[in-house]
Amino acid sequence: MKYLRTITFSLTIALLSVACADANHAENERSIAPMAEPGHYFAVPVNAGQLIQTEEISVRLDEVVSGLGIIWGMAFLPDGSVLLTERQGSLRIVRNGQLQEEPITGLPDIYAVGQGGLLDVTIHPNFEENGWVYLSYSARTPEGLGYVEIMRARLDGNQLIDREILFQESPALSARHHFGNRIVFDNDGYMFFTIGDRGVMQKAQQLDNYGGKVFRLHDDGRIPSDNPFVGREDALDEIFTYGNRNPQGMILHPETGEIWTHEHGPRGGDELNVMRAGLNYGWPEITYGINYNGTIITEETEREGMEQPLHQWTPSIAPSGMVYVTSERYPAWQGNLLIGTLAPQYLHRAVLDGERVIHEEEMFKPIGRVRDVRQAPDGFIYFSTDNGSVFRILPE
């Protein structure tokens, strides 16, 4: 097996605009800028932004990638490489300052429809030893029904090899939305991932199906014997939590070691939560949101035996992607959450006091629908947009 070499990169291309999360994006021309500081992973930006004064620090937004489709996930490899998932079904890689003209081969068939497609990408905590890359995506049956899969594979040059399907949602459904889906490893090497309610809200309360849940597996797909519902005839062994509407942000909290998520509410009621084994997060029995047409889902916002969110957003911010800032490059933001937003099109900063959000800031509005947010090993924070761009936040 060949491993990827150290790279930096950027792309020059006209920025596309999109009106909704399900828009398709056309490919445009690209050119490569020369390698330069700052930033180990990206070269001279396509567009260097003007100085922006946020509440705490002055920054510039360097657009370091543009012209792709919806960049749903990003993975920064230890050797300096970067993997990007395009929701329409392409896995992209950059080497030696160049986006490879051909996408990575060896992907399974991707069902890129509605909110589905090629979604998250992450690497194994021991990637340097084992080379495992993990991908989540929607697939379909011959009859055209959709389901979520989790796969791992190794990179060999420009192809994926040693493919293993670790999880497959069943049964497949006709719904084309609420797939979730983020993947995170915890400090013990367990793999967590999310699936939304798939548009059938009551599934989130039913333990005999995969909709509206967070799941926990070993890194090879085996089910941990201490999962909270193992052995129950009325429940699926993979389930870790339930009552989750559509989680599209998930992180490992670097101080507590717990898994945090945020999830889309309906119209209002987006939530920030800590995932704890076996707990019920309430959807749709309790919610702070209403139906998109203005009708009431439930009058209840709390109920015994169901968890309250750490924080909820009404009106909705439509959260996607999230990072807990630890980088010394942003001392004023350390311990904050940065969250992408889709509807209002900005980067959201949430200041924490333990498990309470005590202050919030809307930054860079309207930058576009922010899909993913990552802190790279070089210490810089990068976020991707549905316009097909990646931005680096460069503190002054």
- The pLDDT tens digits for 25-72 are 322 323 233 333 445 687 767 888 899 999 999 999 999 888 999 999
Q: How confident is the model at residue 80 (pLDDT cuts 50, 70, 90)?
A: confident
Of 2, 68, 1, whose CA–CA distance to 29 is shortest? Answer: 68
Q: Which residues pair with 184 in a beta bridge?
A: 192
Residue 270 has which token pair? 């987006």
**Which tens digit of pLDDT belongs to each residue from 105-125?**
999 999 999 999 999 999 999
3-state secondary structure of 205: helix
Per-residue pLDDT, 346: 98
Residue 301 has which token pair? 């916002």
- The distance between the two most distant Cα atoms of the chain, rounded to a whole number of Å, is 59
Per-residue pLDDT, 25: 32
Handedness of CA 295, 284, 286, 192 (dihedral sign): negative
Tell me phi and psi for residue 205, to 5 degrees: -95, -5
Per-residue pLDDT, 101: 78
Instruction: Please check whether residue 329 is in contact with residue 379, taking contact to mean a CB–CB distance below 8 angstroms.
Output: yes
How far is 327 from 299, CA to CA, in rounded Å? 42
Whole-angstrom Cα Rg for the chain? 20
3-state secondary structure of 127: helix
Comparing 13 with 293, the larger pLDDT belongs to 293
Indicate the residue type of 370.
V
Q: Give the length of the chain.
A: 396
Distance, C-alpha 285 to centroid of its chain? 26
Helix ranges restricted to H, the chain: 127-130
Global pTM value: 0.90
Residue 161 has which token pair? 């090899």
Catalytic annotation, pick one of 178, 262, 264, 311 = 178
DSSP assignment of 17-71: --SSTT--------B-PPP-SS-SSB-S-SEEPPPEE-SS-EEEEEEEE-S-S-E
Q: What is the residue-averaged pLDDT of the chain?
A: 90
Indicate the residue type of 205.
Q
Distances (CA, A) of 239 to 206, 231, 308, 322: 11, 12, 19, 22
Write the CATH number of the domain with boundaries 69-314.
2.120.10.30
How far is 202 from 274, CA to CA, in rounded Å? 21
Q: What is the mean pLDDT of residues 295-317?
A: 98
CA angle, corner 73, sides to 257 and 271, nearest 5? 55
Q: What is the mean pLDDT of residues 294-314?
A: 98
How far is 80 from 78, CA to CA, in rounded Å? 6
Per-residue pLDDT, 97: 55
Q: How confident is the model at residue 24 (pLDDT cuts 50, 70, 90)?
A: very low
Residue 102 has which token pair? 């051909």
Q: How confident is the model at residue 134 (pLDDT cuts 50, 70, 90)?
A: very high
For residue 190, pLDDT beyond 90 = yes
Residue 179 has which token pair? 């797939």
Of 172, 171, 170, 151, whose CA–CA distance to 161 is shortest? Answer: 151
DSSP assignment of 262-316: EE--SBS-EEEEEE-TT-B--TTTS-S-B-TTS--S-S-S--TTSPPPSEEESS-
273-308 burial: b if 16+ Cβ within 10 Å, else e: bbbeeebbbbbbbbbbbbeeeeeebeeeeeeeebbe
Per-residue pLDDT, 96: 64
Please say if 311 is a catalytic residue: no
**Which tens digit of pLDDT belongs to each residue from 217-234?**
999 999 999 999 999 999
Of 395, 286, 382, 289, whose CA–CA distance to 73 is shortest? Answer: 382
For residue 4, pLDDT beyond 50 = no
**Which tens digit of pLDDT belongs to each residue from 230-267?**
999 999 999 999 999 999 999 999 999 999 999 999 99
Residue 64 has which token pair? 């370091």
Of 100, 232, 207, 234, whose CA–CA distance to 158 is shortest? Answer: 100
The CA-based dihedral angle spanning residues 133, 139, 141, 147, taken in that order and rounded to the nearest 10 degrees: 100
